[in-house]
């Protein structure tokens, strides 16, 4: 624990909890005073409180080891601590570390890790008011991890979706939308069926839901240039949950 004299000088700080067996961080946080040590105390004192961070701490303790505590930066103002915490979470996650943080850092959606193309989309985006016939717009917010590039956009877009089978022959192009921006445009070569697993409210036992995916490629430039890096944020209704929008 920090003594009072140390606490007076610390101000806000950013810290990492370290797994001593692998010497790798498993949690990133910001804190004041003795916040960095409180996780250990809570994990061992409140055994009914379950989450990934506390489970990891208990696992380390059972091995007879001690959780490591690293102060990354200290003497910070609160907004500075938020920014450093978010940058660390984004960077370590991108590098493949499985952190136990429940959420991304402060403002990670608006200001977080992005490719250069994603930066350009945000600051150069023109408004898109019309989508031509034969196009479908698919929202990939839940499936795409920002900063992973074009291949991951395709993988996040291609399957598996609930689409009216009768409409499939008329869908020639798929527009991938992420956070209100068109991030890629694909030409559909073929559609295929794929099971989406069991429905919780299925009327029949073991009833499965059929969805659809597509095999395709990046659309020709004359089509792609109409939509790529354009914004549709102004057309989205607040609270709208559907991932699919048609213009057939």
| Cα 179 from Cα 197, distance rounded (Å) | 27
* C-alpha–C-alpha distance, residues 137 and 154, integer Å: 13
Q: Do 63 and 159 belong to one domain?
A: no
Domain range spanning residue 43? 4-111
Apex 188 CA angle, 122 and 158, nearest 5? 60
List pLDDT tens digits, range 43-68.
Answer: 777 766 778 888 888 889 888 898 99
Cβ 121 vs Cβ 183: under 8 Å: yes
pLDDT in tens, 65-92: 989 999 999 999 998 999 899 899 888 8
Q: Is the preceding peptide bond at 61 cis, omega within 30 degrees of 0?
A: no
Residues 24 and 143 in one domain: no
Q: Judge if 158 and 199 occupy the same domain.
A: yes
Residues 50 and 149 in one domain: no
Both 130 and 180 in one domain: the answer is yes
Q: pTM, whole model, 2 decimals?
A: 0.53
Q: Do 121 and 242 reside in the same domain of the chain? A: yes
Is pLDDT of 113 > 80? no
Q: Domain check: are 69 and 92 in the same one?
A: yes
Question: Which stretch of 61-65, 200-204, 219-223 has the lowest confidence by average pLDDT?
Answer: 200-204
pLDDT of residue 131: 87
67 and 124 in a common domain: no
């Amino acid at each position: 624990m920090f003594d009072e004299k140390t606490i007076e000088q610390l101000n806000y700080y950013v810290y990492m909890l370290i797994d001593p067996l692998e010497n790798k961080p498993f949690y990133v946080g910001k804190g004041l005073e003795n916040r960095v040590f409180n996780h250990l105390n809570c994990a061992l004192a409140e055994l009914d409180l379950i989450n990934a961070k506390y489970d990891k701490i208990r696992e380390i303790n059972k091995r007879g080891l001690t959780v490591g505590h690293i102060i990354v930066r200290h003497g910070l103002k609160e907004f500075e601590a938020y920014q450093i915490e978010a940058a660390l979470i984004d960077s370590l996650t991108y590098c493949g570390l499985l952190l136990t943080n429940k959420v991304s850092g402060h403002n990670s959606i608006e200001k977080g890790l992005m490719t250069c193309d994603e930066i350009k989309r945000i600051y150069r985006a023109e408004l898109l008011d019309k989508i031509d016939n034969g196009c479908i717009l698919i929202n990939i917010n839940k499936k795409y991890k920002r900063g992973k590039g074009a291949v991951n956009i395709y993988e996040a877009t291609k399957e598996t979706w609930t689409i009216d089978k009768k409409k499939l022959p008329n869908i020639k192009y798929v527009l991938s939308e992420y956070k209100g921006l068109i991030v890629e445009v694909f030409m559909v070569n073929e559609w295929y069926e794929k099971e989406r697993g069991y429905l919780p409210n299925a009327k029949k036992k073991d009833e499965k839901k059929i969805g659809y995916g597509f095999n395709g490629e990046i659309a020709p430039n004359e089509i792609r240039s109409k939509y790529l890096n354009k914004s549709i944020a102004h057309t989205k209704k607040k609270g709208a949950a559907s991932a699919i929008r048609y213009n057939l």
